[in-house]
Amino acid sequence: MIEQFLQYLTHERNYSPHTVSAYARDLRQWHEYAGAGGRRAVDYASVSSADIRLWVVSLADAGDAPRTLRRKVQAVRALFRWLMRRGVVAANPAADVELARLDKPLPHFVRESTLDALLDSDVDRDDMVAVRDRLLVLMLYGTGMRRAELIGLLDSAVDVPNRQLRVHGKRDKDRVIPFGDELAQWIIHYRELRSREHCDGDTFFTRRDGKPLYPSYIYKVVHRDLSAAGGSGQLSPHVLRHSFATAMLNGGAQLGAVKELLGHSSLATTQVYTHVTLSELKQNYKLAHPRAIKKGGDYGS
């Protein structure tokens, strides 16, 4: 039956040889399990969801990763869909088997020491472009805004006296983000240089012709500056957003407050950063606590 299904995938569905090969491995493995290693014939009509769940549990116990488990269940689901169309079975027992959840990769962030080294380094304060580029890095890290929000930031939305700015985010929602004195002083100086060069525009960050910056330029600036400061891994504008959230939570900010600052629609989206800070906490513990770094040792001595 499995061989007929594989022929169906190859000749009628035009699946790639790679995909068919993967289905073949997974389904033959399931068939061997369902047939007790070949000691009995597989009665497809009697297979239950519980049978498939037990198979998945055995695979997990053997060390299969969640992504592998998902693929194998999906292969069995596809087989039983085909068997239903042929009238071999009345229902798909794999349809009720929950797929293994994939671990979401933790957001990459830049360490505070690296960002401090960058933002405290010298810059030509008479050069409008140099000041603008330093300011955009500082603003991304200091507010957590997205790159698109930074590009679309209006000059009128940056309120220095009240130390706040208004960004237009996803789903056409505006939010207000406070900022500190350091950012305020850079904003004032940048505006002075921008006016001196007559490149003012409706948007806050402009090129010399008064037009907004473009996404690839902002990426280039962030990657260049973080690399020069010793950063490694992903060095994109979005990493500065991750770094903002991580720094806020490490500094004691409430999760709900960080959610509002980032413009997340759901608290669950923000909670991923608690895993980052917990990971950092564990690493600091391992590096600092004498018992954490002790290798082996005697119990109760």
- State how far the Cα of 95 lies from the Cα of 91, in Å rounded to an integer: 9
Q: What is the pLDDT of residue 295?
A: 46
214 is catalytic: no
Please compute the mean of the pLDDT values over residues 162-183 and round it to a whole number.
92
- Based on the number of CB atoms within 10 Å of its own CB, is 142 exposed (0-12), middle (13-18) or buried (19 or more)? buried
249-286: pLDDT as tens digits:
888 888 899 999 999 988 878 887 776 666 666 666 66
Determine the residue type at 27. Answer: L
Task: Say whether 146 is catalytic.
Answer: yes
Mean pLDDT across the chain, nearest whole number? 87
Distance between the two ends of the chain, CA-based, in angstroms?
63
Q: How confident is the model at residue 194 (pLDDT cuts 50, 70, 90)?
A: very high
pLDDT value of residue 301: 36
Handedness of CA 209, 214, 216, 219 (dihedral sign): positive
Task: State if pTM tops 0.85.
Answer: no
- The C-alpha atoms of residue 164 and residue 142 are separated, in whole angstroms, by 11
Q: Which amino acid is at 85?
A: R
Is residue 144 within 8 A of residue 196, CB to CB? The reply is no
Which domains are present in the chain? 2-96 (1.10.150.130), 112-288 (1.10.443.10)
Q: Is 77 a catalytic residue?
A: no
Determine which one of 77, 132, 134, 146 is catalytic: 146
* Contact criterion met (CB below 8 Å) for 51 and 36: no
pLDDT confidence bin for 37, thresholds 50/70/90: low
CA distance 46 to 30: 15
Query: Looking at the predicted structure, is the pLDDT value of residue 290 above 70?
Result: no
pLDDT over threshold 90, residue 136: yes
What does the pLDDT look like over 201-240, one tens digit per residue?
Answer: 899 999 998 899 999 999 999 999 998 888 777 789 999 9
Query: Percent of the chain beyond pLDDT 90?
Result: 59
Is residue 289 annotated as part of the catalytic site, yes or no? Answer: no
Q: What is the CA radius of gyration of the chain?
A: 28
| Per-position DSSP letters for 131-174, written without gaps between them | HHHHHHHHHHHHH---HHHHHT-BGGGEETTTTEEEEE-GGG-E
pLDDT(244) > 70: yes
Q: Of the residues 13, 25, 28, 170, which is catalytic?
A: 170
